[in-house]
Structure 1
């Protein structure tokens, strides 16, 4: 009986293991919640421990910085849209048509854990009116 229990415990432990993974996304932050406005493709990492978290954070920050030219919401993408307009369009697709004076922040998630700040933010604040990017007036 002990052998059967030991085998079941071993099988449960092995089947519970998953490959380490990392998510990376940009969010607009409100007082009580965040809205994801862009998600990068999954980032492969070596582990789900502190080393994997550092690898995830660094790669995420590098990817978002490269995508946005270090957080420039007015950077023109290959599609002909600015980064900010792409975000305003994404927000409008989810029925958020107006947004005033919000920074966009990069976050990462390791192996299904909590989202953590990646240490990067947009250079400018984002303003969307009717789903269109506008220059913000403070």
Structure 2
């Protein structure tokens, strides 16, 4: 009976473990918080312990490709700029006015802490009512 219970416990713990994953996202930094404004498709990795560098490098490549190396004025296939997509996302989450904020890329491995990838927007982000607008220096 003890062997059966041990086997069931082992099977339950093995099925509770999930496959390793890598997340890539873009955040706007505020004084006391970070707000995720875009999450790229998940990247498959083979190990949570051994693939952190691959995750970071894959995120850098993916985020740079999607944004033309951090250009907020790059036009996407939809016809909207990268910045417009971010501003609309922020407005949908009740952030209507954004002035002079950089946008930064991060990666996360298997539920660990988000780590800065080195990806940064070329321009400051400014949004007015969900619309991407040119920033006026303060």
| TM-score greater than 0.5 by the shorter chain | yes
TM-score (norm 1): 0.90
1:96-135 correspondence runs (5 A): 96-135=95-134
* Inter-partner Cα distance in structure 2 for 1:10 and 1:38: 38
1:25-64 correspondence runs (5 A): 25-49=25-49, 51-64=50-63
1:89-100 correspondence runs (5 A): 89-100=88-99
* Inter-partner Cα distance in structure 2 for 1:136 and 1:15: 50
Secondary structure, in 3 states, of the residue corresponding to 2:75?
coil
TM-score (norm 2): 0.90
* Inter-partner Cα distance in structure 1 for 2:73 and 2:12: 50
> Unpaired segments of 5 or more residues in structure 2?
none
> Unpaired segments of 5 or more residues in structure 1?
none
Secondary structure, in 3 states, of the residue corresponding to 1:119?
strand
How many corresponding residue pairs?
Answer: 137
User: In angstroms, what is the RMSD of aligned CA positions?
Assistant: 1.5
